[in-house]
Structure formats: structure tokens, C-alpha cells
Amino acid sequence: MHASGPAQQVLTCGAAGPEAFEHWRALISDTFVPLTAVPTTDRPFRGELRVVTHPAVQLTEVRSHGQHVRRTRQLIAGSSEDYLLSSIQLGGRGRVEQDGRTAVLTPGAMTFYDSTRPYTLHFDDAFEQLVVQLPRRPLLAAAGVPDDGVHLTAVALEAGGPGSVLAGFFSSLALVHDRDPAGALQLSAHAPALLASALRLAAGQGAGPDDAGLARERVLAHLRRHAGDPHLDADAVATACHLSRRALFRLFEGRESLASALRRTRVERAAELLVAQPRRPVASVGTACGFAGEAQFHRAFRQVTGMTPAEHRAGTHGR
């Protein structure tokens, strides 16, 4: 990680010829750790990195044509980087090889790899993934796993499990940075604990004391995906997330309640629609965001934001 405070960069590469790909190799080496790479086809190459850096974690969305990427012993010997990285596959397929294992990544799955030992990343075709990068030693210590971490690299955590939960959390964290950098900074403090939970699962140690955070993020991700459903309630959420009602409500004890989280999620989506579609009737926006009626929408919007939907829309377009 190359920045000490909240920051965002979008880095692109798109052209034909070996010089274009060499530019890409330099971009990924500077963003992650020194790497060597080769494209998988002769067609014009295109890649994009969207890097969001917080003090606690670096998040990088990668969209690219196919390539094979290697971290070699020679590159390791010439650098001092000491990171643990996690790839969360968002689109396409990939393979991660390290420590004699291969993890196959399909959308929603994730795996870890260690910058202090050789690894190879294979992407035969175009792909999209989210790479989460943290200092290695503190993360391994937080997870309570051996310092070398050799037994947990290139272990695939399949879609539908922790990989999907973390993909939702970290992708949302990157988006929140655009709208509310201070809020994203506050949320990013949870990143090490969430990744430590996933590391314990990769190491085969089962649940740890912080793993309720993974379950809670899974619930919040479900709320974000289905907030527009007016019939979404505790029973539907518990069933979809494979939890009992009691376990579901326990996740929110001492925190924002499930009902409040759903209301806030719907209001946040409505606030975006009010700005993005300024001619759309306010009542239609409320319906699209899961509110049963216009009165309920106005009441919820005022409770969350302190203003009416119309005031929010007018204030935004008046700036």
C-alpha cells in the first residue's frame, strides 16, 4: 500500500503492442507488489485499476483482458513488501497457485496469497475482481494462525460463503468512498477483523469470536440487493441467509436494529434515485425502493436524513 490516508485513483491502460502491456505491468507492480506478467492473446490489451486506499486496507478493483501474473523469487529478493492479499472474483474465472495448491475462482469466491513467497495468477480471458491488501503479520496475528500462513494460501472460499459476504462489504466500501469518504473511513476499520475471520475459515479452524461480523455483513448485503422488495421482512431475510430468527436478531444486538438497517438502506437508495432521476415522481421513487406508500416513504426519509424527499432533491440540484 502506497498511501497513508484515504485516497482514490483510477489507472487505465489500453493500446496495442508490447509497450502497452509493459505499461500495465508497471501499473500492477506499483499498485500491489513487483510482478511480471504476460497477456494471453495478441489482441489490443485493455485494463483498469480503481484503487481506494484507507489507513487500514487497500481495495483495488481490477477489470482486464486475460493475463498470467507471477511473483517470482527474484522479485521477492529485490523488494521488502510484506502483504497478504485476497482476490475476490467478481466476473470471469481465475486460478491462484501458491504453496503447492491451486484455487479456482468463480464469481463470489475468494482466496488468499502471500507476497513473501512465489505465486502465480492465471486469467485466461477477460475478468473482474476485487483485491484486498493488508500488512501480513498483523493480519495473521489477528486471525491466530501460524506466522508463515503457508497452510491457508490458495484455498478457495466458495461463492455463497465468506467470499460473497466480503465481496459485498468491500465493494460497497469502495462505493461509499465516492459519496461519504469519512463514513467509508469509519467502515474500513472493520476490514482487518472481517479478513481475519475468513483466514480462520481458510485455515480450517472454524468460527472465531469475530465471525458474527461476517454473518452480519451477509445479512446487510442481502438487504442491499433486495431492498426494493416491499415484502422483505425478518422471516424472509432469515430464510435467505440460512439463519433462525433468533440468530438473525442476535447479530444486531447492541447495534442498529434490523428494521432500522433496512429502512436506512431503502432511504439511501431513494436518495440516489431522487438525484439521478430528477423528473421521476417522488411517490414512484418510494415504491421502487420498497416503501408501501408515499406517507411511509416521507416519514422514513425524514427520520433518516432530517429532510423530506423533495427537500433533498431541491437541495442537491440547487448546489
pLDDT at 207: 45
Query: Are residue 124 and residue 168 in the same domain, yes or no?
Result: yes
Place of cell 406517507: 295
Number of domains in the chain: 2
β-partners of residue 135 are 83
Query: Are residue 96 and residue 173 in the same domain, yes or no?
Result: yes
How long a stretch of residues is the chain? 319
Query: Are residue 243 and residue 145 in the same domain, yes or no?
Result: no
pLDDT grade for 53, boundaries at 50, 70 and 90 = confident
User: How far, in Å, CA of 145 to CA of 208, rounded?
Assistant: 12
Query: Are residue 155 and residue 301 in the same domain, yes or no?
Result: no
Task: Examine residue 86 and state whether it is found in any structural domain, yes or no.
Answer: yes
Query: Are residue 122 and residue 236 in the same domain, yes or no?
Result: no
Query: Are residue 144 and residue 256 in the same domain, yes or no?
Result: no
Question: Residue 68 belongs to a domain with what CATH number?
Answer: 2.60.120.10
Residue 243: count of CB within 10 angstroms of its CB = 18
Q: Which domain holds residue 82?
A: 7-200
Query: Are residue 300 and residue 177 in the same domain, yes or no?
Result: no
Rounded average pLDDT over 16-22 = 76
174, 200, 226 — which closes off a domain? 200
Query: Are residue 29 and residue 134 in the same domain, yes or no?
Result: yes
Of the candidates 193, 201, 99, 98, the residue with the CA atom closest to the CA atom of residue 139 = 193
168, 200, 232 — which closes off a domain? 200
Query: Are residue 36 and residue 158 in the same domain, yes or no?
Result: yes
Query: Are residue 223 and residue 157 in the same domain, yes or no?
Result: no
Task: Examine residue 207 and state whether it is found in any structural domain, yes or no.
Answer: no
Rounded average pLDDT over 230-247 = 88
**pLDDT tens-digit profile of 114-127?**
999 999 999 999 99
pLDDT at 48: 94
Query: Are residue 41 and residue 145 in the same domain, yes or no?
Result: yes
200, 225, 248 — which closes off a domain? 200
Is the pLDDT at 73 greater than 60? The verdict is: yes
Is the pLDDT at 218 greater than 70? The verdict is: yes
Is the pLDDT at 164 greater than 50? The verdict is: yes
Q: What's the pTM? A: 0.68
Look up residue 44 and give its DSSP letter.
P
Percent of the chain residues topping a pLDDT of 90: 50
Backbone angles phi, psi at 191, to 5 degrees: -60, -50
Question: Residue 230 belongs to a domain with what CATH number?
Answer: 1.10.10.60
